[in-house]
Amino acid sequence: MTGSPNEPGAAELLPEGPEEPEEEEEVEADARRPRVITVAFWLLITSAVLWVLVSGSVGLAEQQGTVAIFCCYIWAAARIRRGRWTARIVGTAAAVWLLVVPGSLAWGFMDPENPYGREYAVLAVVAVVLTGTGVALLYGRRGNTYFRRRPW
């Protein structure tokens, strides 16, 4: 037998009646996640990369604290994609800290002695805009609905 459906006796091998539907597979979180959450995630990650570049010019003591906050920030961004509202709170707190502490160190537009001051200042401004936009998207209507569905 070659397996051709035209061979004699091939009809006997066909199942009688329709097959029962298989159990539905669990839908991935990506299918349920609003697009604004994914956009907010990438905005927060991009702003974290820019903050690393901006905060590279501060002293060692400030860098150690900043590294700890960056770790919390990246952890929160990853958990935000899963819909964890506690991560949204931690991410917001880390974003506020990043806006206040390293953001206040970006005075490059007014520092004539630093040849790269303007570039760092532009990076800081872009990072502030990206961070603010990412956090705002998390607290928008779709973001609130997404986080309300998953309490823990």
Please list, in sequence order, all residues whose beta carbon lies within 8 angstroms of the beta carbon of residue 76, skipping any fewer than 6 positions away: 44, 87, 88, 90, 91, 94
Indicate the SS3 state at residue 150.
Answer: coil
- Phi, psi angle pair for 74, to nearest 5°: -70, -40
Q: Give me the percent of the chain exceeding a pLDDT of 90.
A: 14
Does the pLDDT of residue 109 top 80, yes or no? no
Residue-wise pLDDT for 21-51, tens only, equals: 444 333 345 667 889 999 999 999 998 888 8
Q: What is the reported pTM?
A: 0.68
